[in-house]
Structure formats: structure tokens, C-alpha cells
Amino acid sequence: MKQLRPDTGSATVDAILHAAHRVRQAADAELRTQGLSLSSYRVLRALDLEACSMRALSEVLRVAPRTMTDIVDGLEKRVLAERTAHPHDRRVTLIRITADGNAQLRDARRAVERLLTASTGSLTGSEQETLVALLERVDPRSEAAATLTRSF
């Protein structure tokens, strides 16, 4: 089946969305061979930095609280993360990565790094820098976008 491309009416936006979708799909497929989903990988990466409350994880990763609960439940079931009491606030439960979670994350990181390197491998270093610089300027909240929106 042919992969459908976004059709927003802007070839530029469509290309950005389609490229992001292809990379995300490939990363998710690779992570599934490692026993993770892209969502659970993102949670483990966040927990590798510090233990977090469910609310903080949900906000940082921009995931609905119910979805975050499902992800953490799955990680906990596989002993990749654990719930622990907050040391100073008994109302808050912290989520921590476990030793098994660290090992799983280390393996998954290597696989994802290989994939991401391959994803941009057809671009020279200079082209990659240019692409990053251009994408950083894409901002729907820019003054020009705000002016355009007000004119409708």
C-alpha cells in the first residue's frame, strides 16, 4: 500500500510532517525489536535524567495523564521502572528507572542512534546544519504567522 502524504495545502509543511512521520515510524519499529515503543523509550530517557512524578512526565513529554499511566504501568510490569514515595511529599509518587530499565535503555539508545544516523546519512554535515537551522526557524507562533491569522 502506498504511504499517504499529509495534504495541508502547504508543500513545505507537508514535507516536514511526512519526514517527521517516517523517522518516528522507523524509530518505533526499531524500538519494538528492542522490546520498547517510542513512547516507553521517551519515558525511560526522561527517567534516566531524574525520577519524576507522573504529572511531571506527562507535562514534559506532552502525553495525556491516562496515557502516561498506561506507559508507566507497562514499564513497571516489566521491571524497567518503579514507583517510589516522594521523600518530602507523601501525596506524590515518583517514577524511577530501574537497573533493568537502564540496561534496556542503553541497548535501545544504540539502536536508535544507528537508525537516526542512517536517516540523515544522505545529507552532508553542512546540509544537516542548514536543515537544523531552517527547521528551528519554523514557528507557527511567529509574528508573521500571527499577522496572517489576524487578517482572516
Is residue 152 over pLDDT 50? no
Q: Are residues 112 and 128 in the same domain?
A: no
Cross-strand pairs, 82? 96
User: What CATH number does residue 73 fall under?
Assistant: 1.10.10.10
Q: Which domain holds residue 134?
A: 121-152
CA distance 22 to 59: 25
| Burial environment of residue 33 by CB neighbours within 10 A (0 to 12, 13 to 18, 19 or more) | exposed
Q: Do residues 135 and 123 lie in contact, with contact meaning Cβ atoms separated by under 8 Å?
A: no
125-149, pLDDT tens digit by residue?
999 999 999 999 988 876 655 554 5
**Residue 3: pLDDT band with limits 50, 70, 90:** low
The answer to whether position 44 is within a domain reads yes
Q: Are residues 99 and 24 in the same domain?
A: yes
Q: Are residues 55 and 86 in the same domain?
A: yes
| Domain count within the chain | 2
Q: Are residues 73 and 133 in the same domain?
A: no
CA distance 63 to 57: 8
Q: What percent of the chain has pLDDT over 90?
A: 62
**Residue 151: pLDDT band with limits 50, 70, 90:** very low
**Residue 34: pLDDT band with limits 50, 70, 90:** confident
98-133, pLDDT tens digit by residue?
999 999 999 999 999 999 889 988 999 999 999 999
